[in-house]
Structure 1
Amino acid sequence: MEENERLTMTALDAQVSPRHLQMIKAAIPYVHLTEQRFLSIYVKFLEFKNTMDFFSVDDDQLQACSLNADSSDPMNMLNDIRPFCTDSERETMDMLLNVFQAMNLYRAYQSSTSSSGESAGPANSMDALKSMLSPEQQAMFDTYSAMLSNMT
């Protein structure tokens, strides 16, 4: 990720850091050093206060979970994290997203074959999918499959 690339705000930042605080942050490099320190601490204090206020609502469910439509889907989380990654981290994210997509495709295939009564076993199907990958990708797939099977 290049330094001059503008990042979008996370859903939480959008809730706790209103536009006027962003404008103050943008002005900080243009004021004297002592004011920079004060403004930086002041902005962070206001963001902290806004965060505390945001989570002080008397709700049974955690309010941050409602910021995203489907917060239980790991693919959504990876897609939300991806813009903040370096290029090499994005490659890893893309690989993880591809593994998730492959697993979802495999699950859909399993459910369709089990409902249609086909006798293709899961191991044969998985071997067929893995045979399309390079040895390096197969090792990565095995690693992520093991990690993801422990999550579900």
Structure 2
Amino acid sequence: MSGKRSAGLLLFRISEGDTEVLIGHMGGPFWAGRDAGAWSIPKGEYGPEEEAEAAARREFTEELGLPVPDGEPIALGESRQSGGKTVTAWALEADLDTGRAVFGTFSMEWPRGSGVLREFPELDRVAWCTTRSAQGLLVTGQRVFLDRLDAHLRDSPPPPSSPPVP
């Protein structure tokens, strides 16, 4: 495996006929004050010793402080981001109370060159957005996952209905 790899989970729910996805605003000083292109699916890097889906589940829990909801993941494939990182994502139909999230943190020198290490949240907030509004919020390299989720939902047959009770 060459280059940095990241994996993540994109939760989705159907609300009043619209597909909504759970995305997070990236924390830290670079993203403060930005909205468009400053959101991400909960994801993180992994090494060759870990399977991508396991990493996606681990990162979800680390970034949101919540267990991964039950459900059958839908593979959304890979996307190469502008910085060269390859992101692999899965969608999972579930609802989640965003008020229960406890965000993971990272440390970095800030301000640059100051020698002072500061801690920042990996995500500073999460929100449910329609796939249409999420298109303008997500970093460019992850927007393809919204298209793939929409295509999957459009092409999937509806769940079987229960037979009528006599």
Q: Which bracket does the TM-score occupy, shorter chain normalised?
A: under 0.3
TM-score of the two chains, using structure 2 as the length reference: 0.20
Bigger fraction of residues in strand: 2
Higher CA-based Rg: 1
Bigger fraction of residues in helix: 1
